[in-house]
Amino acid sequence: MTLRLANGGALDEILLDVEGQALAARSGESLAAALTAAGIHSFRDTKGGGSRGLFCGMGVCHDCLVRVDETDNRRACMTKVTGQHAVRRQTFPGRLPAHSDSLAPITIADLAVRKPDVLVIGGGAGGLSAAIAAAEAGAGVVLLDERAQSGGQYYKQPAEGRPRDAVADAQVDEGQRLVARARRAGVEILCNAEAWGAFAPMTIGATTPQGSLVFQPRRLIVAAGAYERGLPVPGWTLPGVMTTGAAQTLLKTDGVLAGRRILICGNGPLNLQIALELARAGATVVAVAELAEAVGVRQAGTVLRMLRHAPRLAWQGARMTVALRRRGIPVLSGRGLVRVEPYDGALRATLGRRAHRTLSPERDIVVDVVLMGYGFMPSNELLLALGCRHDFDATRGHLVTARNAQCETSVTGVYGVGDCCGLGGAKAACEEGWIAGADAARALGRSLPPAVTHEVAAARARLAQHRDFQAALWQLFAAPRWNTELAQPDTLICRCEEVPLGAIEAAMADGTPDIGEIKRRTRLGMGRCQGRYCAPLLASLLAERRGRPIDAHAFFAPRAPAKPVAIKDLVRAASAPPP
């Protein structure tokens, strides 16, 4: 079974040893792509005896861990094929590394320090624009990107070595232009670099290709983006159930289809876009279940607002809807995913009709893969750790970073750009990047060249239009923002520690303790994703039980590491010379 597109691979084919069997892969693609192309969706076994595979596709959930060349805990979605690797299914608890008395403990003070004028965290639309603006104004800029290619989720780039003409996509082309402009401006882009800690006043710990480093910039711009929101339903942890973004990354970056028969469920326009992309690539998209009701006459004013603020995007959306209809892909409005079950080597998904705060089961569909796309959550961990003020937006259901008109946070010298501050889309992030990058350079005494001054002025005008467009768009896709309403007592809420809803209910039975106490009683939030999926769900559940609104203190306190970091990386850096 092959799910790889004919032109989807890099030039060099490699044979991997996967559980003792030879598997064809392409140099530069992710291990997740190589396994998925072979029809393998289950990658590891959990402590509770469950099976897991690819879910987020962007290194956040850590569900796709495999053993690579005798090393455990390698994220298949972030690990590139570079040779004839031996890949093994990871079992709990994995093999512990051999003890060595020669590895002395170190602190962050032992790491080599770099002090650029401006440090940008994130290589997506906002981060690239911010880096360009600051660098073209004469500031020394370092950009950290955790992925192998810059571009972020919106400007997803093909894997290194993959033919560029394999992806005929305007977003890919625009991303390539931004990356090229940043490099021409002198931005030092460090890919495969992960910021794992933020310490006041402005200190960032990161693992990079140059080793583990500490950055102490004069100005810091955080453009960390967002990750897809999880919605717990029975079966949402099964192999073959993944986010829409994971399927899009497989397709755009590596030229691999997530499956042959695909069901897409959730809320928002991204699901429609990905349905069309997958269908054009050869997948059978059996349906798109959209929680929002169908657009009717009552939304005419909203549609006109969208046409006024962003006519090109509005018409693109209309053409996309027509294209789906021509391909016979039904968009089932007012429907959602009730549950997923294993079924004869495939998955059986139950769809339901929206009914107040639940779904009434309506029909079953058998598919290879179920995609879930229920919006996004801001990757604001570093901003929270630095003490930047946040407010809870009840309408959008997440924390929003407090910023001024220059995108500077409540912490002097720290800027927040794009979706990590509050979801506004890639276009808005790009404009905010120009504003923040230019202001950071100006604060350092740099004079803005005319081209940057003009770009910033235009960005401010475009930003207002993008925000108005997004507001109108989400009026069209308005739907209930469910949290645990669709879960059963045995449905896992914490994917990492396998904590079901019933255990959380039991922990709250004696008077709804605070979120920290529930963490101590159940281990919820103690896993590798560090509460990114379960903490918002628990915060919402607690607020509902207490009858009071959520605020910034309703979530887990930020702590380092913001993402798991291998001890060996920190130890190795202790004796490494400064770069």
Q: List pLDDT tens digits, range 467-493.
A: 888 888 888 888 988 999 999 999 999
Give the pLDDT confidence of 253-300 residue by residue, as tens digits: 999 999 999 999 999 999 999 999 999 999 999 999 999 998 765 666
Tokens of 95: 């093999």
Is residue 504 helix, strand or coil? helix
Query: Are residues 363 and 250 part of one domain?
Result: yes
Please count the residues of the chain.
Answer: 579
Q: How confident is the model at residue 358 (pLDDT cuts 50, 70, 90)?
A: confident
pLDDT digits (tens, 9 = 90+) for 30-76: 999 999 999 999 999 999 999 999 999 999 999 999 999 999 999 99
Residue 525 lies in a domain: yes
Distance in angstroms (rounded) separating the CA atoms of residues 208 and 176: 22
Q: What is the pLDDT of residues 567-579, one digit of tens each?
A: 777 765 444 444 4
Judgement on whether residues 335 and 314 belong to the same structural domain of the protein: yes
* In a shared domain, residues 412 and 468: yes
Q: What is the CATH number of the domain that holds 326?
A: 3.50.50.60
| Contact status, residue 522 vs residue 507, Cβ threshold 8 Å | yes
Res. 319: pLDDT tops 70: yes
Does 566 reside within a domain? no
Q: Which domain holds residue 138?
A: 108-227+377-476
Sort strands 369-373 and 376-378 into parallel, antiparallel or unpaired. Answer: unpaired
**Residue 102 falls inside a structural domain:** no
CA distance 272 to 274: 6
- Domain match, 390 and 504 both: no
Supply the pLDDT for residue 576: 47
User: What pLDDT, on the 0 to 100 scale, is given for residue 188?
Assistant: 97
**CATH number of the domain bearing residue 543:** 1.10.10.1100
DSSP string, 156-186: --PPTTS-GGG---HHHHHHHHHHHHHHHTT
Q: Which of 352, 374, 396 is the last residue of a domain?
A: 374
Position 395 scores a pLDDT of: 83
Task: Decide which of 110 and 218 is more confident.
Answer: 218
Are residues 360 and 385 both part of a single domain?
Answer: no
Q: Are residues 222 and 127 in the same domain?
A: yes
pTM as predicted:
0.93
Q: How far is CA 371 from the centre of its chain?
A: 14
Residue 46 lies in a domain: yes
* Cβ neighbours around 58 below 10 Å, total: 22
Neighbours of 203 (CB within 10 A): 16
Of 329, 347, 374, the one marking the end of a domain is 374
Residues 421 and 464 in one domain: yes
321 lies in a domain? Answer: yes
Q: Are residues 351 and 390 in the same domain?
A: no
Q: Which of 324 and 12 is assigned the larger pLDDT?
A: 324
Which among 476, 508, 529 is the end of a domain? 476
User: Given a cut of 90, is residue 331 above it in pLDDT?
Assistant: yes
Count of domains for the chain = 4
Residue 455, pLDDT score:
95
The CATH number covering residue 30 comes to 3.10.20.440
Do 113 and 41 share a structural domain? no
Report yes or no: 58 and 227 within 8 Å, Cβ to Cβ.
yes
In this structure, are 258 and 148 located in the same domain? no
Q: Do 349 and 248 share a structural domain?
A: yes
Rounded to whole angstroms, what are the CA distances from 177 to 182, 231, 513?
9, 35, 51
The three-class DSSP label of residue 532 is coil
* Residue 296 shares a structural domain with residue 329: yes
